[in-house]
Structure 1
Amino acid sequence: MAKDKSGYIIAAAFIGPGTVTTASLAGANFGFHLVWALLFSIVATMVLQDMAARLGVATGKGLASNLRDMATAPWLQKLFTLLIIAAIGIGNAAYESGNLTGAAIGLNAFADLGTGTWALLLGVLAVMLMWTGRYRLIETVLVVLVFIMALVFVLTLIFTKPDWQAMFLQLLSPQLDVDTITMVLALIGTTIVPYNLFLHASLVAKNYQGAEKAAAIRASRRQSAIAIGVGGLITLVIVATAMMAFFHQAATMDVTNMGNQLSPVLGEWAQWLFAMGLFAAGLTSAITAPLAAAFAVCGALNLKEDLTSWPFRAIWLAIIITGVAIAAAGFKPLAAIVFAQAANGVLLPVIAVFLLIVMNKNKQLGAFRNGTTSNLLGLLVVTVVVCLGLYKLGSLSI
């Protein structure tokens, strides 16, 4: 059996232009004072993705299929189907424009063809890769892009000559108040991505037999922990880079042109590296967002979750075309990404609660059903995110 790299695909999925933008703004405006939220998000992602992976391995089905099977009443099945199509299908179509625009901005730093042209070319590239239906090829491309991101963002940080002592001191003085709550929710929302739970469960859903299930789950846990840790490290490096370049500096971070804004601070080569990282981040998410939506919607509609099936291809193709159309029209959604990620953080507990219910109620899980530790960690994640969301709502009325 070929070694599964689904954890790296999840890392590729959550490190998109939204992550680059949100992490850059967090570092520029608040330094390392909000890194506690990022560290919480990384641990929470590992906990929730482990549940999704166990569900996929043990049942041989994705999260959407399991949610549909759990709902015995026809009206509840229809409600789940509508929620999944609206939140994951339509939502990912909206995110796709941001993914393509982010990658296009990165490429435009190398050759000024216009972000619309680059978005169109990237959309064609994504379609060509996805149309092959070759999972291992898609997986390999995404893993390579993750490591490119890791390399270029680390090199960019080196250009800033980081002040490790200042970072450590700020890490020890975390902040949470009316001024920081939106950014805290955005950091959580850009790391713990609800559609990744659907994606991960579907990627590992195979017909394992007997002891193969336990071995597959152990391997998935190790590999996911490493991959998600790498993704978290990339995000942390982006926060550190923006902190050193902009925190308490005269320069201001402009999210619509981050690479060019870094040029006078870090130098021409660092700006190019940052642009390359933004391109890699955008392209990975431009591939994984439609892939996740296709798995989720096919599962919700009880259609075949196969990369070569026509319904599967029709769903991801519609999402890419929508993203290309919006991006090519010149709409630049990067300015709204922080709000979108904050909304994602508020939506997260709803999906997490459903996942917890499935992990305790599904009889197919057997020995892989949630134990006390998993349930407590899952409830802790849900509680923290709900409390932050309520705090955000309360702050709006102040």
Structure 2
Amino acid sequence: MNLIERLKQIGPGAMVAAAFIGPGTVTTATVTGADHGFVLLWAVAFSILSVIVLQEFSARLGIVSGEGLGEALRKEFSNPIIKFIAVFLVVGAIGVGAAAFETGNILGGAMGLATITGVSEQIWGPVIGLIALAILWTGKYELVEKVLIGLVALMSVSFVATALILRPDMGEIMAGLFAPSLPEGEGLTLVIALIGTTVVPYNLFLHASSVQDKWQGTENLNAARFDTIFSIIVGGIITLAIVITSAAVIHGTGMEVADAGDMAVQLEPTLGRWAKWFFAIGLFGAGFSSAATAPLAGAYATAGALGWKRDLKSTKFRAVLLIILLIGVIGSAMGADPVQLIIFAQAVNGILLPISAVFLLYVMNNTEKLGEYTNGTFANIIGGIIVAITIIIGIMELMAVFGG
């Protein structure tokens, strides 16, 4: 199969990449570059490596076993107490993570509209949430989502083009990528936020299910791997470009990133006076499309873990969807700093990530379920290192929060 044919097969991996290129990623990456320059590029690189490894595990599980991650975990443990604890932890991680993401998604879209209209995010947030609920309730969200993803794609191209035009110092970029360091202050929170906005726990569950709709049979594993790796690398390049443009344009100026207008400054080298409008519309597109899909993703993942019917018209399914949306709406209407709330949401997700990752790594070593396609030694070492690092970072964040 040549490259063109492989690109035509792109599917579930692109969905995963689209999920993490939302307002949370744009905001967190912008603040990271503005506050610390190129220093934390290594955290983005680690995040991309992590999501490639973990999503490959998830895709392989779905294709080989024919089960989603939630279903696999439900069947993994025979002891009822252990099974209950496992399902409780996973559903808790996914539910809290999706709800935290939803707050950031709605706020991101609201920030975009506030920049254009001058109306407060506290007003636009609930409006976006209610519109997203209406679209999900009817099930006719695909066309709207495609249009909004197109707007996000245009904004993303602008970031990559700006990063190339600025010609930043390659020595500083290489140092940021390959010489890890942790700046004082909010450096740790931003590292966790970068990981949390890229490696999304509910994506691990969604991916295992969505690949089954695209491919059947282990002969398609290579196609699924290409889809995963290619799509996520493209998403990673966009995230790196945002950090680089922010570092090159904003860092060192003393400017504080407080809203979408501030973040749009980094696009001025290519878009001039249109930067603010272009960025705001793209941020709205990223926020609204994610606000419509994150509750759906969380509901699918929770339903799979609990053994419920995965149907948009199911009462239980809709209940999970509604709870996640309501939390996002309430969070967006609280009147807090939208940028800080979005970064906090990503940090929460970064802390919850190890729970899902540990269970995924455990299932990937079940020879009865996966046979010859279980993890080998190298895959377990890499996966174990990623899980260990996410656990350590999460513990450090908890210590920082409760210690001071």
**Cα distance in structure 1, aligned partners of 2:20 and 2:9:** 21
Is 1:324 aligned to 2:329, yes or no? yes
**Cα distance in structure 2, aligned partners of 1:372 and 1:142:** 42
State the AA in 2 paired with 1:92.
Answer: A
**Cα distance in structure 2, aligned partners of 1:364 and 1:139:** 35
Deviations 1:200-223 (A, max 9, x none): 112223596xxx422332222111
Comparing 81-90 and 329-338, the one that deviates more: 329-338
**CA 1:122–1:87 in 2, change beyond 3 Å: closer, same or farther?**
same
**Cα distance in structure 1, aligned partners of 2:14 and 2:156:** 12
Secondary structure, counterpart of 2:71 in structure 1: helix
Q: What does residue 193 of structure 1 align with?
A: 200
Q: What does residue 107 of structure 1 align with?
A: 113
State the AA in 1 paired with 2:385.
Answer: L
Deviations 1:134-157 (A, max 9, x none): 797587557535523422433554
Deviations 1:175-211 (A, max 9, x none): 2355433322222222112221112112223596xxx
Contact 1:49-1:197 at 8 Å conserved across structures: yes
Q: Cα offset for 1:259?
A: 2.0
**Cα distance in structure 2, aligned partners of 1:277 and 1:300:** 34
Is 1:215 aligned to 2:219, yes or no? yes
Q: 2:160 aligns with which of 150, 154, 165?
A: 154
Q: What does residue 372 of structure 1 align with?
A: 377
Q: What does residue 71 of structure 2 align with?
A: 65
**CA 1:156–1:101 in 2, change beyond 3 Å: closer, same or farther?**
farther
Contact 2:68-2:208 at 8 Å conserved across structures: yes
Contact 1:41-1:191 at 8 Å conserved across structures: yes
Comparing 24-33 and 309-318, the one that deviates more: 309-318
Contact 1:298-1:304 at 8 Å conserved across structures: yes
Q: Cα offset for 1:319?
A: 1.9
**Cα distance in structure 2, aligned partners of 1:46 and 1:151:** 22
Q: What does residue 256 of structure 2 align with?
A: 253
State the AA in 1 paired with 2:28.
Answer: T
Deviations 1:7-52 (A, max 9, x none): 1111121222221221111101211111111111101110000101
**Cα distance in structure 1, aligned partners of 2:151 and 2:227:** 17
Q: What does residue 173 of structure 2 align with?
A: 168
Q: What does residue 363 of structure 1 align with?
A: 368
Q: 1:300 aligns with which of 297, 300, 305?
A: 305
Secondary structure, counterpart of 1:58 in structure 2: helix
Q: What does residue 3 of structure 2 align with?
A: none
Deviations 1:254-291 (A, max 9, x none): 2x314246449934312222223322321232133212
Q: Using structure 1 for the length normalisation, give the TM-score.
A: 0.86
Quote the RMSD (CA, aligned, Å).
3.1
Contact 2:101-2:346 at 8 Å conserved across structures: no
Contact 2:14-2:231 at 8 Å conserved across structures: yes
**CA 1:141–1:358 in 2, change beyond 3 Å: closer, same or farther?**
farther
Contact 1:9-1:143 at 8 Å conserved across structures: no
Comparing 141-150 and 66-75, the one that deviates more: 141-150
**CA 1:385–1:81 in 2, change beyond 3 Å: closer, same or farther?**
closer
- The within-5 A match list for 1:79-98 is 79-98=85-104
- The within-5 A match list for 1:126-145 is 126-133=132-139, 140=146, 144=150
**Cα distance in structure 1, aligned partners of 2:103 and 2:357:** 26
Deviations 1:358-388 (A, max 9, x none): 0112622223222222212101212232344
Percent identity (aligned): 43
Q: Cα offset for 1:331?
A: 4.6
Deviations 1:114-133 (A, max 9, x none): 32443344334433543454
**CA 1:325–1:214 in 2, change beyond 3 Å: closer, same or farther?**
same
Runs of 5+ in structure 1 lacking a partner? none
Q: 1:225 aligns with which of 224, 229, 250?
A: 229
Contact 1:305-1:312 at 8 Å conserved across structures: yes
- The within-5 A match list for 1:254-269 is 254=257, 256-260=258-262, 262-263=264-265, 266=268, 267-269=272-274
Q: 1:17 aligns with which of 18, 23, 26?
A: 23
**CA 1:94–1:344 in 2, change beyond 3 Å: closer, same or farther?**
closer
Deviations 1:89-123 (A, max 9, x none): 24422331221111111122223343244334433
**CA 1:124–1:154 in 2, change beyond 3 Å: closer, same or farther?**
farther
Runs of 5+ in structure 2 lacking a partner? 1-7
Contact 1:106-1:279 at 8 Å conserved across structures: yes
Q: What does residue 336 of structure 1 align with?
A: 341
Q: What does residue 384 of structure 1 align with?
A: 389
**CA 1:301–1:383 in 2, change beyond 3 Å: closer, same or farther?**
closer
**Cα distance in structure 2, aligned partners of 1:207 and 1:337:** 33
Contact 1:152-1:277 at 8 Å conserved across structures: no
State the AA in 2 paired with 1:268.
Answer: R
**CA 1:178–1:253 in 2, change beyond 3 Å: closer, same or farther?**
closer
Contact 1:186-1:339 at 8 Å conserved across structures: yes
Q: Using structure 2 for the length normalisation, give the TM-score.
A: 0.85
Q: What does residue 4 of structure 2 align with?
A: none
Number of aligned residue pairs: 391
**CA 1:207–1:3 in 2, change beyond 3 Å: closer, same or farther?**
closer
